[in-house]
Each structure stands twice: as structure tokens, then as C-alpha cells.
Amino acid sequence: MTRRLCLVTGASSGIGSAFARIYASHGYDIALTARRTDRLERLADEIRFRYGVETLVIAADLADPDGPGEVLSEVSAHGRVVDVLVNNAGYAVPGAYGNTAWGDQRAFLQVLVIAVCELTHRVTPGMVERKFGRIVNVASLAGLAPGPAGHTLYGAAKAFLVRFSQSLHLETRDKGVHVSALCPGLTYSEFHDVTKTREQVTRGTPAWLWMGADEVAAAGYEAVEANRAICVPGAPNKVLAVLAKLFPDDWGLALLARESGRIHHT
């Protein structure tokens, strides 16, 4: 194939599907992976019809330790390599840490940390060899802000993705491989429906704090093309990120993160 391939995890909705459409609009073939095959198939049909590119649907659960390898084996079985990797799959585990089941937390870490690292580790050498690659790790403003109570590992995992992306960016920036951590705040998607926190989050939260998934993905695309290590989309989110850096332990900022940010987004 003459076209490059973009692999998007968590592609069945929200930021993931928005990234798939953006890369397809720039002429990339698209590999879509998530658990919901029916949604992936509908998105794949839409992308093929609208943009005239090839699509590959891979149903996989990245909470399974074998999931990342299975996804990349399927890509290889079709004679393809990954030129762009969008690590978007994610969710949160609501509740106080001690009140949750460890199995749920372990699966969360597998999806948001281990699978991201494994997929990235497996595709990076080929990108470096071909002197072209793009890696977008969808982190969160929560990874830059003080950690609120509840969703205990969410901010920690997203902070890990930010630091991981920064380090890998430095290792590959002169080798044709761009790495960027995308750190959105509140984003319209199914995230809060899955965690059953939509009413709690939207109540009293001003509309100007929210962004659309298409806006977020567009900002992420521009950032990785420009080889920027971190992208915080939206002016309000940029202000919050600066405040978090200036006052990392300030209780007022922590309150802001909890009450008006509630930045468990994707």
C-alpha cells in the first residue's frame, strides 16, 4: 500500500473516532480498535465512503494483557505497519481508592498505562527505521493538575503519560518520529456516561469549560505534526495548566480542579 496507516485505540466514540476521521481526511488508511465491533464497523464504513481510504477493524480488549500484541499481529497479518499511533483508549474507576476492587484498578492500569507503553514500544523501532512516525498519547489536564479525591489513579496515570511522552519526544524528535501528549479538559463524549457521573459533572459547570471531541482531536493533530511534546487545547485549559504549575500545592487550585475542572474527560 502507498498510503500510511494510522492505528487508533478506543476508536468507537469521542476523541478516538474524531482522530480517525482527521487522519482519514489527510489520506491515511485507518485501523480502528475497541471492544464494540458494531460501532467500529459503522465508523469504518463512514470513513471509507467519505474519504476513500482503506479501513481495518480490530475488536480487542486492551484490559487483556494479550490485547496489544493481538492488535499489532492483526495489523501485520494484513501486510501493514503502523505509521501513526493514537493511544486514546481510556476510562476511570469512580470512588475512593480503598472502596474499589483491586481487579478493577489493575485493569485500569493495564489499559491506560501498560497497553500504551507496550503498543508504543512495539511500533517505535519501525518508525525510527522508516524515519517517519507520529505518536499521540491522549492524556488529560488531570495529569497536570492537583489530584482530587476519587478516581484516584486517573490523574496519576495521565501524569505518567505526560512524562512518558516528553521523554520519548526527546529520544525521537530528530529521527522523524513525533511524540505528543494531548491534555484536554472537559470534553463532550461518552466518558461521563460510562462512569455514571454526567449529572454530577455537568451540574453547575459553565459551558465555556467544555470542548468538542473534534476540536480536541484537531488540536492534537496539529501539535504532533508540529512535534510539540505537550498540547493543552483551549484557552481556559491553558490557564488552568499554568496555575497548576505555579501553585502545585495550593488548596484553592485543588478545589478548582475538583469543582469546576472535574477533568476526567475522555
Strands (E), 28-176: 29-34, 55-59, 84-87, 133-138
Place of cell 492534537: 220
Local structure of residue 100 (DSSP, 8 states)? S
Instruction: Give 136-200 as a DSSP string.
Output: EEE--GGGTSPPPSSSHHHHHHHHHHHHHHHHHHHHHTTTTEEEEEE---SEESSHHHHTT-HHH
Bridge partners of 169, per DSSP, are none
Q: Which amino acid is at 125?
A: P
Task: Point out the catalytic residue in the list 97, 154, 188, 221.
Answer: 154
Please indicate whether residue 28 is annotated as part of the active site: no
User: Can you tell me the distance from the alpha carbon of 162 to that of 180, in angstroms, rounded to the nearest whole number?
Assistant: 8
User: Can you tell me the distance from the alpha carbon of 102 to that of 212, in angstroms, rounded to the nearest whole number?
Assistant: 33
Contact criterion met (CB below 8 Å) for 8 and 86: yes
Burial state string for 170-187 with b = 16 or more CB within 10 A and e = fewer than 16:
eebeeeebbbbbbbbbbb
Place of cell 493481538: 70
Active site residues: 154
